[in-house]
Structure formats: structure tokens, C-alpha cells
Amino acid sequence: MTKKELLDKNWLFHYGELERQPLKTTKKAVSLGGPTAPLANENGSRLPISAGGNHFLKLIAQGNAEQGLLNLAGTDLTDKLSDNWEKIDLPHDWNRKVPYVNQPEKLMSGSKPDAVGYYRKTFKLSASELNKTKTILHFDGVMRMADVWFNGVYLGHNNSGYNSFSFDITEMARYGEEGDNVILVRADTTTGAEGWWYEGAGIYRSVWLEHRPLVSIVSDDCYIYTKSLDNGNAILGIELSVKNDTDKSQTIAPTVSLDGKKVAQFNEIEISSYQKYKFEKTIEISNPKLWTPENPYCYNANFEIKTDKIQKKFGIHTFDYTTDGFFLNGQSYQLHGICEHQDFVGVGTAMNQDIVNYKVKVMKDMGVNAWRSTHHFASEELLNACDRLGIILINENRLLESSPWRVNDLRQIVLRDRMHPSIGFWSISNEELIGNTPLGSRIAQKLTRTIKKYDFEHLIIGAELLTPEGIIDENYVKNLDVLGVNYPEAGVMGSGAKLIHKKYPKLPMMSTENASYFSTRGIYKDNEEKKQCNNFGSYFSMVLPGVRKPGDPGVGGTAHPETVMSYLKDNPYMGGVFLWTGFDYYGEPSPFNWPAISSQFGIADLCGFPKDYYYYYQAHWTKKPMIHVMPSWNKDQLNLDKQGQVEIRAFSNAEKVELFVNDHSYGKKDLVDCTANWTIPYESGELKVVGYRKDEIVAQDSRFSNSKTKQVLPQKVYEGETTTLVALKAIDENGKFVENANETVNLDVSEGKIIGNGNGNPIDQNMDNEKVSLFNGLALVIVSKNSDLHTHLN
């Protein structure tokens, strides 16, 4: 059976170029040597040499075979590593520990320098694997351009940081007493960025060994898809391929089962030596369990032959999109989506499954049912989380280019991902300058043709730039199932989307990016020095410097949340929204410059702690009674007018809401757009709101005026398979949350390890795992599971 072996532990990492850069070509086989092959303290010779070869090397170098290698092949004879290699585990983003740099050209990408890094690992293979399996070395992702060496051989190159790639090392591997196997990887971020956001650096996803039997099922060719749903039955298409890597013909009769029940039995087929055969069948399933975000039922699909079995998750569902919007399983369905990059506080892009699960859960709790992987292919971890937790995913191609390697990357990812239950859409690009041009149309045709060749179920979109005049290229748009447009609600885009809809009433349209609203968690005053934005609405602008006036272009961000939801209500044919962004992310610190190092577009901060407008969306998108009141109730954090009055805002999905200060009621109000507003005199103590349905209290929320921090309380916010996320919360002598606490906390663990930390402060540049500053009362620490974390106020 096919087995996967995780190779994430016990790597060595070297920051910067090696004193002697390994060669890629050589005059004799397997002879590159140096760090690409076993060293003096490792098992196995630099390269296996025959008796004749050894004799020849001595002849050409006065009896010194080592010198002969140098003379003949230019072999690197280095027999040990320098002292500046460090032990690490994967996933690993080296940029998280590299100092920030104040360079304007690096600001958008996170104020980190470009560099080169090397990774090296040794591993053993049992002699029992020899001539019994195919051995594949698989990388889930390396940022950015990657070169890979193995056992003295240059394996090859990978261009993009957003695709996975593999090498067949079966014949080149060393088995049993032959010695250690050596992997060397060079990652280079100096060759040009792929994105204008923080991308990270290094082997930031997992590495695997895959051991496939010589008669094996091809995993990427295993495909079940929903053809139709009708009268309570599902018509499914099934495809799989079997490869025979033996020197004899093999008779194969695959079976396919769903949740342990056999649903397909293929007839026996004879597959010739070293050939592949594709099996196809259509089946019918009665009364299927359908996958939806509300009930994300995943079937366990098994593809099986005598020598191999492949297991995948599968969801039965249908997707459609018309001029009335999106339809899931034949029913109209509004998309409550977010856009999101792939980084997180303290770890950068080196996110494991647990951290991704946490991120998806935070958004799911807000009512999110859709996710756009912006602007790159989704990771396996994100796909797995969306499958299980119930999120419809837009999987996005990086660039609108048809170079051979980009088309091949797209083909590989479509084959790899197409069966994931969560995928609803493929996006061919985002905001490309050549979109809606004849050149762009030719390229888009190639990309959509590539997707549709392998994926028969999902819809194709493009996230396109709008003009206020609503100009599009009709030939370009014909390549898409749905025209996606970014920020149709924004003033700077005018009536562009509405003009397109009016001119092309039969063209399906989707909101693929919305809002970009500035806010800093826990902040209720704009502060240019500290690079902070008021949660009520900032007067900083995306397009003009300094504090602006109401109505100036881009004030508060591209569009306020209320404008986004109003536009959706008035234009339901847009299918829903995809808010920019779910979380703050490193890089793109608009509207500020240095020392800001992270964005402020997130509905949650870098740690996943919700900002106030998280609850505005939650009020719209969830049914469980909830209420939230803002602002903080500490006078130093508030904007008081000349009369000492302060603005209060509550978000709720109740019918009415009542405001209290120290048990004095300011009366009940009806909620409009899930919102109620007051302006009242400030009085220290307790600020409280109560939500009512049919005159019964269904929810309440309070904020308190705080005294000084007495303790820092650790609270687990997510415990995964290998990782625990712990919130640090400042508490005063009355047991209340201290919302204006900014003390430094020293950290240590008696068991396990600290993986990273952070606090959501957009100018925090701390990289020390052993301390973290609170920001408005909170910080987050990521530790290995079962770690015993200790905190001490500095």
C-alpha cells in the first residue's frame, strides 16, 4: 500500500549563501559531493565507486582517489558543515527571525530583506524498500525559487512558492547498508517577488517521502465528482488510473467505496509493463448526504487494488451561478466570504494544520461560509480545514500567464485539489493589468481550458479591476463562468459594476473583494505616531497623506462595512461578499509607513482576536443570540467631545437593545442594520448593553473601567494535534479585563517549546519568543501541545 512518511523533523538550516555554492552539473554521475552527499560523520561514502573507478582515480592523481575526484569531476571534498548551521523543524519561515529593515521598497512586503537560505537533512531507507516500492520526495511548498540536490545529484528547480512539487528518487536513493540519504535545498527570495504582501521565506510547508508499490493507483488521477442531483439521487462520475512499474503485465480490477460501501467494481484489465491505464464509470447514489457549510458531510472514498489503496475525502454537491447569484445544491445561497493571505502572528507563513484550523474556526464563528485564497493556490492545510469545518473555497491561480511552467503548476494543482469538498470556484487571476485585453483573453482561454480539462464540477471566475465607466472586453469575459469584480461598492469605483450589469444583463457577476476597512483592535482614536486607526471609522486615507476630512477619497479604507452590506442588499445578483481581509497580515501597512509592519484591514487582528466590526458581521450572519458594545470604557482610550460625551455603538441580532451605564438605562432602541448608536456623557464604571427578543433578554455585553493589571491570565483558545494557542489576558484586582494594558510579559516553558508569539500591534517588531508585550490587554503565545507555559510580568 502507498505510505507517506513525514520528513519535517531534524533539519539543519543555514541563513545566507554557502562559502562554496553547490554545482548543478558535473562531469561524472552522482559526484557533486560536499553538503549534497554524506559527510565524514555520516553513514555511507561520498559516492559509490567501483573497483575500476577507484583504480582510475588513483592513476590520475598519484594514488590519491579523493584528489582524483577533484581533478576529474570537480567534486566538492568538504567533509563537515560550518558552525553556522542551526537545527530546526519544518514548517519554517526564516524571515520571522530576521530583523526588520526600514526600506521603503520593502514596506509592502513586510519590511524584511531578501536572502538565500539552505536546508539539509539526512534519512535512512530500509533495504526492504529496494525493488519493492517507488520512492517520491515531495515538497508541499518552498518560498521562493528552490533548487534541490540529493545524494550528490542535482534533482531540479521549482519557480513558485505557491505550488507543490515532487521528485522520483527511487533509483538514486541509498538503501540499507549503502548509507544515509542526503537532501539539500536552496531557497532564494532575491530573484523577484510573486506577491506584494509578506510571502515568507524557506521550506514553509511540509516535506514527505511517499512509498508507492510498483503496481499503484495514481493519487492525483483518483477523482469522484457530482454530475447531477435529481429526485433525491446523485449521479457521480468516477475516474482513477493504475500504473504498472514492473517488467510484467498485470491484471487489475479496481474497486471504489464510499464510507466502506462498495459503489464501483471495474472489470479486469491487463496493463502492460511500465504502462498506465485509466478507468472510468458513472454511478448513481440514492438519498446522498449532501455537503454544505452548515452540514459539511465528507464521504470517505477508497480507491483500491490488491497492492494499493488511496483514501480521499469527497463531498456530494452541485454549484451553479446565474444572474440571480450563487446556487448550492440547486438552492439560492448567499456567500459570506473573506479574502485571506497565508500568514499568522509569530510564525509568518510556516503554519501547520492546527494554526490553519484555528484561523478557519475564528471566521466560521463569525458566520463566514466562504473563503478566497488570495492570491495564490490554497494550501493542503487550508483545504482540509474548509472541507471539515464547512467553507466554500475560491482557489486562486497566482498570475494570468501561460508560460509552460505556470500552466504546468496550474495543471498539477487542479489535479491535486479538485476532489476536495470545499472547492467551489477556480479563480484564474486577481486584478491583472492585462485582464480585459486581447492578450489577456488569449491567456485566459489557455488557463480555463487547462482547468476544465481536469475539473468537471467547479466554476471559473476572475477577480477583475473595475473602472467607473464599467469597461470590459467581451471576448475576455467569455472565458469566465462568472465575472468577479473587486470593490463594486467603493466610491472610487463609481457605478462601474452597475453599468456592466445594465449593459450585460445576462452576465453572471460576483463580488470577489470588498471593504478594506482600517481598524486597530481596541483603538478608538486615530493616532499617526503609533499607526493606529479608530474602530468607529478612521480619518486616515488610502490615497491621501495624514488625517483627512469626512468625504475625502479613501477615508477609512476603500469602503465601510455598512456600505458593503447595503450594496449587497441592493444588488443580490452579486452573490455575496468576500471581505478584505479576515485577519490582519504582515506587510501592506496601508495607510501608514514605517515603523508599521502589518496591515489593518483585518476583521480580526494578527492573533485572531476579533475587532469590533467582527460582531457587526456576526450579527448579520449568525442566528444564535449575540450582542457586542463598543468602545472600551477607559477614559484615556476614548474620544470625548467638549461636553464630555462619547459615542456608543452596539451590534446585535436581537430585536431591541438597551444601554446601561452603572445600571442607569438610556432606553431601548430598535436595531437598524443590526446596529444601535447613542451619544452619552462618560461616567466611569460599567458600560452594558442588553438584547431583547419579544421582550425577553437573550444576550448582553459589558465593558468596564479598569484599574492596573494585577495578573496575566493564560487561556487556551485552540488546542490541536501538535500545537496549542494560548491567549494572555490582563486582569485587574476586580477580576476584570484590563483593556488598556500594554505591559511586557516574560515567557518560559518547563515542558515543550514556545513556537511564536505576538499581540496585534501594527508596529510591534518583537522577535523574541521569551517575551511579548500586551497590546490593549491581550497577546497570543503559540506552544507545542502539552507545554507548561509560565508568564511573569516584567
> Is there a contact between 209 and 5 (Cβ–Cβ < 8 Å)?
yes
- Residues with Cβ within 8 Å of 168's Cβ and at least 6 positions away in sequence, in order, are 134, 135, 136, 137
544 confidence band (pLDDT: 50, 70, 90): confident
Which residue in the block uniquely carries the three cell numbers 467551489? 424
Burial of 564 (0-12, 13-18, 19+ CB in 10 A): buried
CA-CA distances (angstroms) from residue 1 to 274, 303, 415?
18, 11, 21
Judge whether residue 547 has pLDDT over 90.
Answer: no
Judge whether residue 364 has pLDDT over 90.
Answer: yes
User: What backbone torsions phi and psi does residue 310 show, to the nearest 5 degrees?
Assistant: -115, 135
**pLDDT tens, position by position, 164-201:** 999 999 999 999 999 999 999 999 999 999 999 999 99
Pairing of strands 509-515, 482-486: parallel
Q: Identify the pLDDT of residue 794.
A: 81
Distance, CA of 249 to CA of 136 (rounded, Å): 23
Chain center to CA of 362: 14
Burial of 183 (0-12, 13-18, 19+ CB in 10 A): buried
Distance, CA of 230 to CA of 210 (rounded, Å): 40
Q: Identify the pLDDT of residue 263.
A: 98
> Is there a contact between 294 and 282 (Cβ–Cβ < 8 Å)?
no
In the predicted model, what is the mean pLDDT of the chain?
A: 97
Q: Identify the pLDDT of residue 129.
A: 87
Interaxial angle between packed helices 613-621 and 561-570, expressed in degrees from 0 to 180 and rounded to the nearest 10: 20
**pLDDT tens, position by position, 459-491:** 999 999 999 999 999 999 999 999 999 999 999
**pLDDT tens, position by position, 106-116:** 999 999 999 99
128-151 burial, b at 16+ Cβ within 10 Å, e below that, comes to: ebeeebbbbbebbbbbbbbbbbbb
Judge whether residue 543 has pLDDT over 90.
Answer: no
Q: Which residues pair with 335 in a beta bridge?
A: 576
**pLDDT tens, position by position, 192-222:** 999 999 999 999 999 999 999 999 999 999 9
**pLDDT tens, position by position, 641-692:** 999 999 999 999 999 999 999 999 999 999 999 999 999 999 999 999 999 9
> Is there a contact between 95 and 110 (Cβ–Cβ < 8 Å)?
yes
**pLDDT tens, position by position, 399-438:** 999 999 999 999 999 999 999 999 999 999 999 999 999 9
Helices (H) and strands (E) in the chain, counts: 10, 45
The secondary structure of 93-107 as a DSSP string is -GGGGSPP---GGGT
Chain center to CA of 89: 19
Distance, CA of 58 to CA of 769 (rounded, Å): 53
Q: Identify the pLDDT of residue 180.
A: 97
> Is there a contact between 635 and 644 (Cβ–Cβ < 8 Å)?
no
Judge whether residue 723 has pLDDT over 90.
Answer: yes
Q: Which residues pair with 517 in a beta bridge?
A: 557
Q: Identify the pLDDT of residue 586.
A: 98
Helix, strand, coil fractions of the chain, as percent rounded to 5: 15, 40, 45
Distance, CA of 249 to CA of 274 (rounded, Å): 8
Distance, CA of 507 to CA of 731 (rounded, Å): 55
137 confidence band (pLDDT: 50, 70, 90): very high
Collapse the DSSP code of 74 into the 3-class scheme (helix H, G, I; strand E, B; otherwise coil) and give the result: coil
Alpha-helix residue ranges (DSSP H) falling in 150-228: none
707 confidence band (pLDDT: 50, 70, 90): very high
**pLDDT tens, position by position, 20-52:** 999 999 999 999 999 999 999 999 999 999 999
Which of 722, 741, 706, 727 is closest to 791 using CA atoms?
727
CA-CA distances (angstroms) from residue 543 to 381, 513, 516?
36, 18, 13
Residues of the chain with pLDDT > 70, as a percent, come to: 100
Distance, CA of 334 to CA of 103 (rounded, Å): 43
Q: Which three cell numbers stand for residue 473?
A: 472586453
Q: Is the peptide bond before 631 cis (omega within 30 degrees of 0)?
A: yes
Judge whether residue 255 has pLDDT over 90.
Answer: yes
Judge whether residue 546 has pLDDT over 90.
Answer: no
In this prediction, residues 45-70 reach a mean pLDDT of 93
> Is there a contact between 485 and 496 (Cβ–Cβ < 8 Å)?
yes
Distance, CA of 743 to CA of 334 (rounded, Å): 43
In this prediction, residues 67-87 reach a mean pLDDT of 94
First to last CA, the chain: 55
Which of 147, 685, 617, 606 is closest to 337 using CA atoms?
617
**pLDDT tens, position by position, 560-577:** 999 999 999 999 999 999
pTM above 0.95, yes or no: yes
Q: Identify the pLDDT of residue 554.
A: 86
Q: Which three cell numbers stand for residue 630?
A: 463598543
Which residue in the block uniquely carries the three cell numbers 516584567? 794
Q: Which three cell numbers stand for residue 787?
A: 507545554
Q: Identify the pLDDT of residue 231.
A: 87
Burial of 636 (0-12, 13-18, 19+ CB in 10 A): exposed
Q: Identify the pLDDT of residue 731.
A: 97
> Is there a contact between 21 and 76 (Cβ–Cβ < 8 Å)?
no
Which residue in the block uniquely carries the three cell numbers 509493463? 273
Which residue in the block uniquely carries the three cell numbers 447569484? 325
